[in-house]
Amino acid sequence: MATGKAAEGPLYPVKGVRSATVRAGIRYPDRRDLVLIELAADTRVAGVFTRNAFCAAPVIVAREHLESMQGIGRYFLMNAGNANAGTGDSGLADARYCCEAVAQQTGVRAAEVLPFSTGVIGERLPVEKLVKGVREAVPALSDDADAWWDAAAGIMTTDTRPKVFSRQVEIDGQTVTLTGLCKGSGMVRPDMATMLAYVFTDAGMELSDLQSILNSSVEHSFNRITVDGDTSTNDCCMLAATGKSGVHLTPRDEQQWRVFSKALHELTQTMAVSVIRDAEGASKFVTIEVFEGADAQECLDVAYTIAESPLVKTALTASDPNWGRILAAVGRAGLTHLDISRVQIHLDDVCIVENGALAADYTEEAGQEVMNREDITITIRLDRGQAHETVWTADLSEEYVRINASYRS
């Protein structure tokens, strides 16, 4: 299941980026599951990675390579079906071996190759299948629009649809393109970004500025979504700037920087929301907005307590206006000295709680009408300050349980 519509709008290839997607047979036969993306020489790459202590081997190797090359990257190697996580030293050796295979086929240094994996945790990576796939992918590299769709499909696991989106902006009379692709459907509570996400632009900028703008964009997009509260071992979000548009951006030019930042933020937020719309077993898309918090953190504490409550999520699946579950979640979010008499809770435009109790004019019929919708907004007003935060989530269905109970079969 999924909510809303799949990706819409034009897709714009990015100058300096080519990709190829092949069937490597990593876990399932006859499925495209290996993606190779080529970046133009001197492309700058910034990244954010999972904070899970059991981070996967490709995360460790990608970090090492970015640091050793001072942000210069030439190839992204991605595979689905096997996370290469929880695999110890052998997993690290496997990730490095695959990078070396790309280097041998393309003439770059192994440190210019960044590996990424998604899939089952705790199994050895079938490196010979990956190496064979690399040999097939290199001569198939393409810069056309279909190659982007193939790449988005090639990194899917339990996703039901590929996720790829574009934006274009005019800067100094030049067109600057941003295109991003991502995967994610379950094991989603990013603590930096989301499962696998990649944004490419033909703008140019210094590495420190690239990292700064990525951090800012991720914080209010990928770091505001949750499906099940589980931070993956393999999460990453990468931003690659090829510079091929001829536009070089710097925060010192505030107007240009603002235009690009706005486009990047809109793109990453669209990508993040697409993950929630395709959450495993989802039948509801839920926006949780918390207003009037003392600071951003307590707004997030309230929003995530609601978003990750199994009782709230199952009530959403059943379209049951069981407002007491939301009330209880707010109360256990850990806010100090919370004055419940000042809290308001709304389902869309229907006020369900005010003055610490059921709203006087609330009716079950009005609550039911909102809960029957596919898209629902839960709004909390704390009356403690000026902070405001938004989190996106989905419901918890029997289909989610089925998918995860049979994930390895």
> Which pLDDT tens digit goes with each residue over 42-61?
999 999 998 888 889 999 99
> Which stretches of 220-288 are DSSP H helices?
254-277
Q: Average pLDDT of 153-175?
A: 93
pLDDT for the residue 292: 98
End-to-end CA distance of the chain: 19
Higher pLDDT, 279 or 187: 279
Contact 239, 214 (CB under 8 A): yes
Q: Average pLDDT of 1-18?
A: 83
- Domains annotated for the chain, with CATH where assigned, are 17-277 (3.60.70.12), 285-405 (3.10.20.340)
Query: Does 130 have pLDDT greater than 80?
Result: yes
> Which stretches of 52-197 are DSSP H helices?
57-68, 88-106, 127-137, 145-154
> Which pLDDT tens digit goes with each residue over 332-341?
999 999 999 9
Contact 288, 378 (CB under 8 A): yes
pLDDT for the residue 185: 75
Query: Does 328 have pLDDT greater than 60?
Result: yes
Q: Average pLDDT of 154-160?
A: 87
> Which pLDDT tens digit goes with each residue over 182-206?
987 766 676 655 568 999 999 999 9
Spatial CB neighbours of 281, under 8 Å, sequence gap ≥ 6:
1, 396, 397, 398, 399, 400, 401, 402, 403
pLDDT for the residue 408: 64
Query: Does 8 have pLDDT greater than 80?
Result: no
DSSP state for residue 349 in the 8-state scheme: T
pLDDT for the residue 387: 98
Give CA torsion, residues 353, 355, 356, 360, to 10 deg. Answer: -50
Show which residues are catalytic: 194
Query: Does 25 have pLDDT greater than 80?
Result: yes
Query: Does 407 have pLDDT greater than 90?
Result: no
pLDDT for the residue 192: 55
Residue 356's pLDDT band (boundaries 50, 70, 90)?
confident
pLDDT above 70 coverage of the chain, percent: 95
